[in-house]
Every structure is written in structure tokens, then in C-alpha cells.
Amino acid sequence: MRVILFIGILATGCAAVHSAILYLLDEALQDALSGPWEYLGTGPWHGNARAPACAYRNARVLVVNVYCTTKEAQAFRLDVYFPTRGWVRIYAEAKVPISTVRRRAYFSFNAEAQPPPRPEVGGPPLALALSFAELQRYDQQRSERLLPLCYGGVELRRPRYGCVGALGPRAAQWAERNRGFLAHPPEDWYHLVRELHALAIKHGQTTP
């Protein structure tokens, strides 16, 4: 399973950019681990036809294990949603199940970050109180709008960094703030991967 970074951008996307710095990867990780998770549900996820997703919530964020299978996959994707900071996706892939290896064994390890869309873009606002079905719809609408975002990391061991749309001028800033995480993730990253894998055995589904 591979994640293809968005390169398209709608003209209306410029209206979605906030003046604050984008949600950072280390901040998203800490928010995801800031408190106990409440299970929201398991089911299909936009753009991912091969595995179900499992969603959780704590007092700060919504957390989605996008590849939530009882048998651990060789790819792992974490999505974190903070109502006022936006969305972060972190993706890792190796030749063996992700929870069994460290960063040096990943041949892909990359991320995307996107601010929450402004009201004029349309669509429902992001809220911690969303149900699983509502979060499914929110993420599909977020993805289909192709709003500005920044991305970085390695894909098949090839480095890629940049920002698209109105976030273009922030490319160097985003890369500088997140490059260290993507090169040497903290121990909390490995802890989160193991925790979500353990929950996937309980909440996930078996895939062919």
C-alpha cells in the first residue's frame, strides 16, 4: 500500500490558508498520545479500498488508524485531526510489519499537513464530537477539495518536500520544522504504532 502525495490544487483553495503555522508532526503525535482513546468505529476510508480504518478520539484530537487489520500490514498510516490546527497524515512502509522495525527499515516514511478549511470553502466544520460516519464524510470532502497542503519525507527512499497552492511559500519552513521527525522519529512514534496495532487486533477486520 502506498500513499500518493497530492499535487493538484483547486483555485478556491487559496481561501483555506490560515495565517498560523501548520500543524506540526511532533505536535500531532503528542496530541494523539495526550489521553485515553475512545473508540468511534471501524469501516471503509476514502481512497483506501484494501483495508478498513479504525477511529478514536481523546480530549484534543481524532485519531485514525487507516490500515486497521487484525493481521498487521507492512504499511501504517496515522491521520490526526485537530479542530483548530488541521490535519496531519504520517505514512510508513517497510518489507515487514511496521511495529517490528525501526525507522532505518522503512523505505517510505512521509507526511502531509493541511490547515482546516475556512468556512467559505464549504462543508461541515471539524469537531471532536463527530461520529465515525461523520468523520468518514468529513475526510472524503476534505480530500476531494484538494486544498493547499505541505508534504515531505521519503517515498521509496527518494526524498520529497514541498507545499502546493497558497502554501507554496512555506515549503522551506515546513521542511525545516519536520525534517528531524521524519529522519529520526521519537520513541513516542514507535509506542503509538504498537498501541494502534494492539487495538487493531480488537477493533480491526481480517482482510484477504
Examine residue 6 and state whether it is found in any structural domain, yes or no.
Answer: no
Examine residue 130 and state whether it is found in any structural domain, yes or no.
Answer: yes
The three state secondary structure string of 109-144 is: EEEEEECCCCHHHCCCCCCCCCCHHHHHHHHHHHHH
Examine residue 158 and state whether it is found in any structural domain, yes or no.
Answer: yes
Closest residue by Cα to residue 87 from 44, 40, 34, 125: 125
Query: Which residue is it, cell 493538484?
Result: 8
Mark out the alpha helices in 60-186 (DSSP H runs): 132-144, 171-183
pLDDT score recorded for residue 49:
80
DSSP H or E run through 87 = strand 86-93
**Spatial contact of 186 and 102, defined as CB atoms under 8 Å apart:** no
Examine residue 170 and state whether it is found in any structural domain, yes or no.
Answer: yes
pLDDT score recorded for residue 120:
56
Mark out the alpha helices in 23-150 (DSSP H runs): 25-32, 132-144
Examine residue 84 and state whether it is found in any structural domain, yes or no.
Answer: yes
What does the pLDDT look like over 97-132, one tens digit per residue? 999 999 999 999 999 999 987 765 666 789 999 999
In degrees and rounded to multiples of 5, residue 126 shows phi and psi of -80, 135
Examine residue 183 and state whether it is found in any structural domain, yes or no.
Answer: yes
Domain that holds residue 26: 11-203
pLDDT score recorded for residue 122:
63
pLDDT score recorded for residue 208:
54
Positions of the chain with pLDDT under 70: 1-20, 119-123, 207-208
- How many structural domains comprise the chain? 1
In degrees and rounded to multiples of 5, residue 154 shows phi and psi of -125, 140
Examine residue 208 and state whether it is found in any structural domain, yes or no.
Answer: no
Find all residues with CB under 8 Å of 190, minimum gap 6, and list them. Answer: 99, 102
In degrees and rounded to multiples of 5, residue 97 shows phi and psi of -55, 135
pLDDT score recorded for residue 15:
35
Examine residue 177 and state whether it is found in any structural domain, yes or no.
Answer: yes
